Amino acid sequence: MSDEKQINPEEEAPTAEQQIHVENADTGSSDAIDDPTIFEKAVDTAREQAGAAADSLRRGELMSEAAIDPEANSDDRLISLLAYASQIFIPLVMPIIILVSESSKKRPFQRYHAVQSLALSLLFMGLFVAGSIGAAIASMVPFVGWVVGLALVCLMPIGFMMALVSMIYYGYQAYQGKRFAIPGLTSFLKDQGWI
């Protein structure tokens, strides 16, 4: 007898599925493992939060999860009001002062609203900058640039008024002693561990 391996007729050739799996294993790709990257997870989370925020705003909810904070005293409420209202005249300054002060480390109500007002102000500034860049790019096209410029001239005051009203509204709610969530923004800040 020879040392050759004899083929058993009962053993069949691999099926097409087995061959595909072997081919995928050889190339290094796998259909079974679909672990999303960190970037994909962040994009999915941002998409979910933006969808939830859009749904809330469609329903007319400017805030959610509002509850009176029993530990907030009158000083906390006043400083939280100023964190929002000061954004109208001098953006970013008051929330930064609150966050770097020693007393805010002991006062979570002040810190919570300072972070929210700072993030909201940065969001409004980012939208303004993005709109300005978009308008500058669109202005390079002759007729479209004029239409976009005219639309921005009409919409910028409305956007500014919306930002103004929202800062006053959130400041008033903070002065009432409420700890609330701004749709989309607060969930993002919580995911980042900032509040």
- Please report, for residues 16, 78, 88, 119, 124, the alpha-carbon distance to residue 91 in angstroms, rounded to integers and kept in the order given: 65, 18, 6, 11, 10
Structure confidence by residue, pLDDT tens digits, 17-70? 555 554 444 455 444 457 888 888 878 887 887 787 777 777 777 777 888 989
Cβ atoms of 159 and 80 closer than 8 Å = no
What element of type H or E holds 52?
Answer: helix 38-58
Strands (DSSP E) contained in the chain are: 64-68, 178-181
Give the percent of the chain with pLDDT over 70: 83
Cβ atoms of 88 and 167 closer than 8 Å = yes
